[in-house]
Structure 1
Amino acid sequence: MASRSGTSGSDSATNHAGAERSGIFVDLSEDARTDESRALTLAGVARDSRLDRKFLILIALASAIATLGLLQSSTAVVIGAMLVSPLMGPIMGVGFGLATIETGLIRRALVTLAAGMFIAIVVAMLIILISPIQDVTPELRARTQPTLMDLGVAVVGGIAGAIAVIRNLSGVMVGVSIATALVPPLATVAFGIVTGRADFVTGAALLFLTNTLAIAFAATIVARINRFGPSLTPQHTAMQLAGILAVLGVLSIPLAISLDNIGREIRARAIVQSELSSLLQPRDRVENLNVVVNGEEVGVEGVILVDRFTPSLGDKLAASATRRLDRKVLVDLAQVKRQTNAAEEYEDQLNRRVSALEQRDADVEALLSALTVGGLIGREELLIDVQAKRVLILRDRDAEAEEVGEARDRIITETRIRYPGWLLREGMLDQP
């Protein structure tokens, strides 16, 4: 981390010597911070940007904690990883290096940051490879869709972090580390690499890049305001600011697209629910409803509990929702008739049936993920009989390389152990 809680008491006292006045930024009308205090602050930033054994140990531990937390979907464990992570140090080094135009500090910080990223991803990949749990959890999915909101959090966090460095406020840096996730996105990148999920790799990498650049650039601006670095001409200052804004502007494009997609899905769900409510009778009830935006189409699936069947319900909902959303809406609704003489019993049966179907789908998806991990076995090579819980794995052992065959055997054996209720067979279609 970029906090300097480990600085000696004399250094801390020196850092505060010229900064014990009200306000967050230094009063620019007076020379409130001496050259010596600025030099000590920069020395602390350079020290936290150093690539040493302590940094490597902390980043490895943070990556391990973050990976385990993501796999368990434990928010508390993920937060613990953010507190252990030392990545704020080199990121602040980049920001202050840009402000002071010190290429040595920038180079050192970038090398440390790159090494930290590499170690974090490798450690996470090793843990995921040996872990029996490789399912997509809400904590993992939350790191794959960064938006402009994340950019805003990172910018504000970077400002707070730079102030914490300048004013030696270690407590503030703890909050910044929690707010601006750095290691969990790297662990999510590792998960995407191991499981072959390219969308997880790109989404998490974009989140990490967003947080890193926003924090560094915010630190640069705060450092320049506080008179760190040489006195640049107004033209040079304007060019430096324009460069920062240009990079953040380019970065904002995919984030804005992601935010727009999420907003469109929320809007589509609200409109579909509103239109469906207007078409149902007072006693009808929506038991289950899924709305998914896929490109220029919206898919709607659901189960409706009704007193009387309405054959055209799906068509009416598709037509009205298409008009309001101005895009094609595909509707697949299952209407289940309510029995008035045994309504509660029927509802219980329906709930159990829906739950059983959802659990079956989840089990099938988990089984497929286990078999296709790493991409050695393609989904097109799997024939599944869901009712009988049987899977036929199409293989031609004579055509397989020895190492590939052994790796496939291991995957199949591990899957058999994890899912004893399923029958996994290997062979070709023309074999008995």
Structure 2
Amino acid sequence: MSSGAILQSNPILTWWREHVVAGVDHVRVLDKVRAESGWSGRYMFMTLMSAGIAVLGLLLSSPAVVIGAMLISPLMGPIIGMGFGLATFDTAEIRASAVALAIGIILAVVFTAAVVMLSPLQNVTEEIAARTRPNLFDLMVALFSALAGAYAMVRGREGTIVGVAIATALMPPLAVMGYGLATLNWTVLGGSSLLFFTNLMTIALAAAVMARLYGFGSDLSPQHTLLQTLVGIAVLIALAIPLGISLYNIAWEATASRQAQNVVMSQFGGDARLSQIDFHPDTKPIRVSATVLTPQFRPDAQSDAQRTLERLLGRPVQVALEQYRVGTSQAAEAEQIASAQANARQLAADKVAMRTSEQLALIAGVTQGNVLLDRDHQRAVVTAKPLPDTGLEAYRTLEKRVSDAATGWSVELIPPPASLPDVSFAKPQQKAEGEEEPAAPKPDASGEAAIATAVWAAKRLNVPIGVAGDKDRVAAVVEALTKAGVDAHEVSGKSGSDGTVRMVWLAPEAE
């Protein structure tokens, strides 16, 4: 039996082709991909601005500023375009996307290197160091994010791209490459280059896979498909090997550091406390330095700890212990510990509040002074300024990302009254035998997402919603909104395309 006959006889593939692939507007998707993957003046300007924001955020070690660079970076377009070009063997699209991507990379690296050379701050910050040791988890993040981004492109879920842009973080590694070039730090340059190349190739390959799944390149021969598969597997394996080794080394260092702490403390009694410990796994021999507060000196503690660690780690180790004798008054000790814990909790709470305020101000387009913080009740509220080409779903996504990061805080982002999305409905089911009335219309997955976004926005703005379209479908939407606590009313108006129900903002009723 031929491969074509096997595919035709497979009910799952037949269902996928007839119900999923057939519903994709391939021409619209390809036009959108081509429009966002080529070189243009806007692309150049946004690349330079994103690179500038990224390198400043890295030098200042400000995660909020780095997130801003991720949001406006245009590099996702050419990489997605390259993936679709690979899926369809469209050499013109591959060439256009590759040219735009190459120019963007050169611009970003050269511009960030120039900024670093002119900057008085050139220390390796935590934000820079975090992008110099990519591992297998980074590849998995890029893979999952790319699958989500390609799906959003195919299915028209553009709001998802906001989260994908933050997750994949294409511009910060380029900015770190510029930093490494400017400071001649080849370790930083090499690590960030590997991270960017990992994200680039993984996104392109994942986009190609999603494109093939949704019917793009369906006219290709089996030989072309086999070539695509072999190349994709080879690239992922080539990336996974060094990244897997890096992940193993990171895990080993974490385990070794924990063992070093346990071994040092095992040399003393229960009344001793570890003031600080430094673990340096990259030196030869491995160096461990620690300061211990103890009621009684242990002259053999350093040599015993060194021998134990060398046996556990299987490598030469040099241990340096400093012992300070402290009093044993339990009341005084307890008071000091309680004070230290209280200060630590307060510092942690202040750090979360500051980070939440910075992130909310960034995504809302306002200064931090416009963010209302209630520290007692751990609540943050900000009113966002209108951003071009930004819908309500994007604001909702941004609020969720900040809320997830701000553990224990209630975060509210009040969006501008942008247009509400239309509610699409599932195809009407055929009337079952014996039924007098057909089943009530129900929104499909996209329609339910639109209703959820409308509920979120209405509660933030405290504004009623009008619903227009087919009477039965309008009733279903009004009922869903009302159940969610939104003031919704049927209004006159035509249905949208494909019978979708339109939602509009209504003027609040005067009291």
Q: Does 1:119 align with 2:107?
A: yes
Q: Does 1:135 align with 2:123?
A: yes
Q: Does 1:174 align with 2:159?
A: no
1:63 counterpart residue number: 51
2:220 counterpart residue number: 232
Aligned equivalents of 2:195, 2:327: Cα separation in 1: 51
Which of 195, 206, 209 is the matching residue for 1:221?
A: 209
* Other structure's SS at 1:154 match: helix
Distance of aligned partners of 1:84 and 1:237 in 2 relative to their CA distance in 1, 3 Å threshold:
same
Q: Does 1:95 align with 2:83?
A: yes
Q: Does 1:274 align with 2:270?
A: no
Aligned equivalents of 2:136, 2:329: Cα separation in 1: 53
Which of 70, 83, 89 is the matching residue for 1:82?
A: 70
Aligned equivalents of 2:329, 2:29: Cα separation in 1: 78
1:153 counterpart residue number: 141
RMSD across aligned positions (CA): 2.4
Q: Does 1:162 align with 2:160?
A: no
Distance of aligned partners of 1:277 and 1:217 in 2 relative to their CA distance in 1, 3 Å threshold:
same
Residue identity in the other structure for 1:61: M
2:472 counterpart residue number: none
Which of 298, 302, 315 is the matching residue for 1:310?
A: 298
* Other structure's SS at 1:287 match: strand
8 Å CA contact 1:96–1:219 kept in 2: the answer is yes
Deviation of the 1:298 alpha carbon:
2.5
Q: Does 1:286 align with 2:274?
A: yes
Distance of aligned partners of 1:305 and 1:225 in 2 relative to their CA distance in 1, 3 Å threshold:
same
* Other structure's SS at 2:281 match: strand
1:186 counterpart residue number: 174
2:287 counterpart residue number: 299
Task: Indicate the larger mover: 124-133 or 332-341.
Answer: 332-341
Task: Indicate the larger mover: 288-297 or 217-226.
Answer: 288-297
Distance of aligned partners of 1:37 and 1:322 in 2 relative to their CA distance in 1, 3 Å threshold:
same
Deviations 1:143-178 (A, max 9, x none): 111000000000001101110110111111111000
Higher relative contact order (CA 8 A, sep 6+): 1
2:251 counterpart residue number: 263
Q: Does 1:200 align with 2:177?
A: no
Residue identity in the other structure for 2:245: I
* Other structure's SS at 1:162 match: helix
Aligned equivalents of 1:106, 1:188: Cα separation in 2: 27
Aligned equivalents of 1:244, 1:296: Cα separation in 2: 39
Aligned equivalents of 1:140, 1:192: Cα separation in 2: 10
Q: How many residues in Structure 1 have an aligned counterpart in Structure 2?
A: 323
1:337 counterpart residue number: 325
Which of 289, 314, 324 is the matching residue for 1:326?
A: 314
8 Å CA contact 2:273–2:294 kept in 1: the answer is yes
TM-score, with length taken from structure 2: 0.60
Aligned equivalents of 2:233, 2:254: Cα separation in 1: 30
Aligned equivalents of 1:98, 1:109: Cα separation in 2: 11
Task: Indicate the larger mover: 335-344 or 61-70.
Answer: 335-344
Distance of aligned partners of 1:307 and 1:241 in 2 relative to their CA distance in 1, 3 Å threshold:
same
TM-score, with length taken from structure 1: 0.71
Aligned equivalents of 1:225, 1:279: Cα separation in 2: 60
Tell me, which stretches of 5 or more residues in structure 2 are unaligned?
1-12, 341-511
Distance of aligned partners of 1:114 and 1:50 in 2 relative to their CA distance in 1, 3 Å threshold:
same
Deviations 1:171-204 (A, max 9, x none): 1111100000101001001111111211110000
8 Å CA contact 1:66–1:183 kept in 2: the answer is yes
Q: Does 1:44 align with 2:44?
A: no
Deviation of the 1:296 alpha carbon:
6.8
Aligned equivalents of 2:97, 2:14: Cα separation in 1: 26
1:420-431 aligned at under 5 Å gives the runs none
Deviation of the 1:215 alpha carbon:
0.5
* Other structure's SS at 1:170 match: coil
8 Å CA contact 1:26–1:33 kept in 2: the answer is no
8 Å CA contact 1:26–1:226 kept in 2: the answer is no
2:239 counterpart residue number: 251
Aligned equivalents of 1:232, 1:107: Cα separation in 2: 19
Aligned equivalents of 2:24, 2:61: Cα separation in 1: 47
Deviation of the 1:261 alpha carbon:
1.4
Aligned equivalents of 2:14, 2:146: Cα separation in 1: 17
Distance of aligned partners of 1:27 and 1:53 in 2 relative to their CA distance in 1, 3 Å threshold:
farther
Residue identity in the other structure for 2:114: L
Calculate percent identity across the aligned residue pairs: 40
Aligned equivalents of 1:313, 1:247: Cα separation in 2: 50
Deviations 1:218-243 (A, max 9, x none): 00001011110143344542331121
